[in-house]
Structure 1
Amino acid sequence: MNQQHDQLEALHEIRNIMDRSSRFISLSGLSGIAAGVSALTGAAVVKWHFVQYNIRYNHDYSTALTWTNIQFMLAVALGVLILAFGSASYFTARRARKNNLRIWDSKSQRLLLNLAIPLAAGGIFCAILLYHGILYLVAPAMLVFYGLALINGSKYTFGDIRYLGICEIILGLASGIFIGYGLLSWTIGFGVLHIVYGTLMYFKYER
C-alpha cells in the first residue's frame, strides 16, 4: 500500500515538473484583481463623461458621439490598458522572484505570442469598426477577441485562464445581441470577471 502511494506521489511530482517546464506559472492572481480595478475605474470615468454630456448608452448611441467623445473613450481605454499591463508586470515579476523563477524565457515568450495574435487581430477589427462608424459593436468585439486570446494562451500557463476566456466570449456575444448594454458588459468582462478570476487564482495558487 505504501509502495503504491509512493508511486502515485512520484507520478504527481513528475507531472508538476513537466508542467513547470512547459508552462509559464508566474502569473499572479493579484494581476487580475488590479486589472479589474483599473477597468472599473475606467468604466466609471466613461460613465461620468456620458452623464456630463447627456449621452445615453443605447442601441443608437453612436449618433450622439462626436469624435471628441470617441477620443476621450479611447484615451481612457489606453489608460486602463497601461495600468493593467503595468500591474500585471509588477505582480508577475514579484511572484517570479519569490519562487526563484525567470520571468522572461521561452515559456513567457510563447505565452505572449499566443496572446498577441488574437489581440492584434481584435485591435485591427475594432479599428475597422470605428472607421465605418459601427461603434456599438466595438465593446462586444473587444470581449470576444480578448476571450479568444485567453483561450489561445491558456496552453502555456494555468489552464484556469481558459474558463475566463470562455466567459469573456459568451459575454461578448451576448452584448453583440443586446447592444444597449455594451458599456455594462465591458465593465463586467474586464472589471468584475477579472477581480473574481484573480481572487480565485490567488487563493488557489498563492496562499
Structure 2
Amino acid sequence: MTDEQHLQALSDIRRMMERSSRFMSLSGLSGISAGISALIGAALARTWLVEYYDRWNTTGVYSEDDFAALKMKLLVLAICVLVAALCGGTFFTWRRARKNNLPIWDITSRKVLINVAIPLIAGGAFIAGLLYNHLETLVAPTCLVFYGLALINGSKYTLPDVRYLGLLETALGIANLFFLRKGLYFWAIGFGLLHIIYGALMWWKYERKGSFQSIS
C-alpha cells in the first residue's frame, strides 16, 4: 500500500470510530424547525401579554382570575411549542439517519438523551419552584441557562458544534438576569433565532452534500 492509501485507510477507520462513539444523525433542519416553532410561540405570547396589559392599563383593575388565565394560556403554549419542536426534531433526525443507513436509537443516542435529560429535569424542577413562589420573571433566564447546560452536557456524544450553541444559550440566559422584564425577547432570541442560525450552519456544514464531514 502507498502512503496515500494508508492515510485513506486511517481516515476511514477514524470516521467509523467517530460514527460509533457519537450520535451523528442530528439534522440542521431540526434546529430550524425548532426555531420557527419558538418564534411563532413568542409572537403569540407577546400578543396575549400586550392585550392583557392594555386592558389592565385601560381599566385600572387587577384581576387574579385574569392573571391566572393568562399564565395557564402561556403554559399551554409553551407545551405546544415544545411538542412541535420535538416532533420536528425527531422527524428530521429520523430522516437523516435513514438516509445515511444509521440507527436512530442505539447506545450512543441513549447516552445523548441521558446527558441532556439530567440538566433539563433539574431545570424543570427549578422552574416549578419559581412558579410556585411567583417568580415568573426568572423563568425565561432559567430556561435558557439549563437548556444551554443540557446541550453542553450532551455534546460529548454528538456533533461538537452543539457545545457552542449550548454556551451561547447559557450566556444569553445569564445576560437575561440583568434585564428580567425582557425575558420574552431573550427567549425568542435563544430558542428561536439561535436555533435557526445554528440549524442553517449545521445543514450547510454537514448535510449540504449529503455526506458526513470528519469531526475535529
TM (norm. structure 2) is 0.88
- Per-residue CA deviations over 1:141-161 (Å, capped at 9, x if unaligned) read 000000000000001110100
SS at match of 1:66: helix
State the shift of 1:178 in Å: 1.4
Moved more, 178-187 or 167-176: 178-187
Q: Which amino acid aligns with 1:8?
A: L
C-alpha distance in 1 between matches for 2:198 and 2:11? 25
SS at match of 2:84: helix
State the shift of 1:54 in Å: 2.0
State the shift of 1:52 in Å: 1.4
Moved more, 12-21 or 84-93: 12-21
Q: Which amino acid aligns with 1:134?
A: L
C-alpha distance in 1 between matches for 2:90 and 2:47? 29
Give the corresponding residue for 2:201: 200
C-alpha distance in 1 between matches for 2:31 and 2:158? 14
Moved more, 176-185 or 158-167: 176-185
SS at match of 2:196: helix
Is it true that 1:83 corresponds to 2:61 in the alignment? no
State the shift of 1:193 in Å: 0.2
C-alpha distance in 2 between matches for 1:4 and 1:164? 38
C-alpha distance in 1 between matches for 2:11 and 2:183? 44
C-alpha distance in 2 between matches for 1:84 and 1:161? 16
C-alpha distance in 1 between matches for 2:134 and 2:160? 37
Larger of the two Rg values belongs to structure: 2
- Structure 2: segments with no counterpart, 5+ residues: 55-62, 209-216
- Per-residue CA deviations over 1:26-78 (Å, capped at 9, x if unaligned) read 111000000000000000000110121126xxxxxxx9982211111111110
State the shift of 1:109 in Å: 0.8
Is it true that 1:54 corresponds to 2:50 in the alignment? no
Give the corresponding residue for 1:59: none
Give the corresponding residue for 1:157: 158
Give the corresponding residue for 2:142: 141
Q: How many residues align?
A: 200
Is it true that 1:184 corresponds to 2:190 in the alignment? no
Give the corresponding residue for 1:29: 28
State the shift of 1:13 in Å: 2.0
SS at match of 2:35: helix
State percent identity of aligned pairs.
55
State the shift of 1:11 in Å: 2.6
C-alpha distance in 1 between matches for 2:8 and 2:71? 57
State the shift of 1:111 in Å: 0.7
State the shift of 1:15 in Å: 1.6
Give the corresponding residue for 2:213: none
State the shift of 1:6 in Å: 3.4
State the shift of 1:90 in Å: 0.5
- Structure 1: segments with no counterpart, 5+ residues: 56-62
